[in-house]
A and B are shown apart, each in its own frame.
Chain A
Amino acid sequence: MSALTLTHEPVTGIRHGKLGMWIFLASEVMFFSGFFTAFIILRNSNLAAFAKGATELSWPLAALNTVVLIGSSLTMAMAILSLENGKKQRFQLFMFITFLCACTFLVVKYIEYTTKFHHGIYPSTSTFFAMYFIMTGFHGIHVLGGMIPIGWMLSRSFSKKGYTDYGRVEILGLYWHFVDLVWIFLFPVLYLIF
């Protein structure tokens, strides 16, 4: 019975939920590795076409999105710290800003996509844009996926009981920083280094 009541992995002392999130993040690294490797191979055999594709992207919008995501990572870290210290209102404020940043990111992404569609650029246009849409698309889905628990925890924190599960917010934070991390690599790889 005692094994069932353990909250931490016995050898390493890492909390189960956190261990699970790190294993998931390791698998996520491998998921995006596939795309990045495919991108490297296709780019190297098709350098001129990729360079041409990259110049059609709007790097200022991507730079704006980089700042937005970095900011949301900071507010997420601050939200976790606030909850750890029992400062409920600060937690709500920082979670709200994080949620707003995520919305901003997706709106900018939407503008980028629709601009491309208006110019007749689709995933089928070229290999570069196939990679661009699939990589940023999957990243966008990750942002959207992160917004669901952020919004849920935020709304729960307004209930009478409040939201006190510090461990879960910490785990969500790990995921959110990972989403930021993927964008940190997508930004130079897709928009800048040609």
Chain B
Amino acid sequence: MAAHLSTEEIQRAYIKVFSGLLILTVLTVIAAKGLHFPESWGAIGHILHVVIGLVIAVLKAWMVVYIFMHIKFDNPYIRVFIYIPLFLFSVLVFALTVLGGSTL
């Protein structure tokens, strides 16, 4: 596995991901607790908070999967096990919220 990368290079990638995860954790807390949108924005401010929180979470998840779980270095066939559940999850959310008539 990862035959083309040296131990030092992989180690450096791990440390980078770890630092990135810590920074993003701080950012998501600051965005949620320190960032206030003007009252006049109404629901948009609230939706922005949700979007920022989820975008940061997806970024963090991607870093964990890509580096820690070795998707970057490993057999590309394994990606199937990420795409299929992601697709099914999207279908589930879409069906229950948009088609189910629930408002976001």
Interface residues of A (CB under 8 A from B): 12-14, 18, 22-23, 25-26, 29-30, 33-34, 36-37, 40-41, 44-45, 59, 63, 66-67, 70-71, 73-74, 76-78, 81, 84-85, 170, 173-174, 177-178, 180-181, 184-185, 187-189, 192-194
Contact = CB atoms under 8 A, between A and B. Distances in A.
Given A71-B18, A77-B68, A26 B81 contact: yes
Which secondary structure dominates chain A's binding surface? helix
A70 B11 contact: no
7 contacts: A33-B89, A73-B64, A181-B65, A184-B60, A184-B61, A185-B61, A188-B54
B78 A22 contact: yes
B64 A184 contact: yes
A194 B50 CA distance: 7
A70 B22 contact: yes
Contacts of B96: 37, 40-41
Contacts of A63: 25, 29
Interface residues of B, number: 45
Interface string B9-39: 0110011011001100100110011000000
Contacts of B53: 188-189, 192-193
Given A59-B33, A193-B50, A181 B61 contact: yes
Interface string B41-63: 00000000110011011001100
A192 B21 contact: no
B75 interface: yes
A93 B81 CA distance: 31
B40 interface: no
Nearest to B95: A37
Contacts of A23: 81
Given A177-B68, A181-B65, 13 more contacts: A18-B78, A45-B102, A70-B21, A70-B22, A71-B18, A74-B68, A81-B7, A81-B10, A177-B69, A189-B53, A192-B33, A192-B53, A193-B54
